[in-house]
Amino acid sequence: MHIYAAGIIATALVLSACGSSNDDSDSNSPATVAVPNTSANGTQVAASEPAILKPGDKTGISLGSTRGTATLESIQTNIPCGAGENFYQALEFTVTLDPGTSFMTAASLELTEILPDGSQATSKSNISINGCLSEDEPVLDTIRHGSTQRGWIVAKTKQDGGSLYFHTDSQNNMDSIIEF
């Protein structure tokens, strides 16, 4: 179920991709992405509108000179973290970067809470990690090119349930919606 108009206050999480001196690509030219949006059963999803990304689903990453895939492994909603009127959603990803591309940090994965009117937030969220995750839940950190890392990020939201816009491709419109 898409939640575009149900009381969601927007927040964004932005992580940054880092350049590589080996990058010969032109930032204005179209890029080839390693894996298009696919469902857990391998069915390709049209890139013209955001697909619903569920645990087990994989999507391509094409952020500047960074290329690879991100798999949403699991979601834990309303985890205990911080004080106040906010809610915290923990998302576990496995990120694999193609050899020869730039490394990236978890901040390169942009998550934006969808506003009640269906628009997306434009401000960066306050990512809270300290005290939010247990010892057996490693934080998604810097991912080197040609490697794979599995880890968690925590997004602070204003609603206990809703949707996040997951922007992973700045060039090929391969973005997804994650419901929590």
Its pTM stands at: 0.71
- Residue 33, domain member (yes or no): no
- Residue 77, domain member (yes or no): yes
Residue 123 has a pLDDT of 59
CATH number at residue 98: 2.60.40
CB 15 within 8 A of CB 155: no
Residue 69 has a pLDDT of 94
Using left for φ > 0, alpha for ψ between -120 and 50, and beta otherwise, residue 117 falls in alpha
Alpha-carbon span 90 to 74, nearest angstrom: 8
Tens of pLDDT, residue by residue over 59-95, are 999 988 999 999 999 999 999 887 778 888 999 999 9
- Residue 3, domain member (yes or no): yes
State the DSSP code for 114.
B
- Residue 36, domain member (yes or no): no
CA dihedral sign, ordered 69, 73, 76, 81: negative
Range of the domain at 161: 1-17+49-180
Within the chain, which residues score under 70 in pLDDT?
A: 1-48, 121-130, 173-174
CB 170 within 8 A of CB 64: yes
Q: Can you read off the two tokens belonging to residue 126?
A: 């306050």
Q: How many domains does the chain have?
A: 1
Alpha-carbon span 125 to 112, nearest angstrom: 8
Across the beta sheet with 110-113, the strand order is 12-13, 110-113, 163-167, 176-179, 51-52
Alpha-carbon span 157 to 155, nearest angstrom: 6
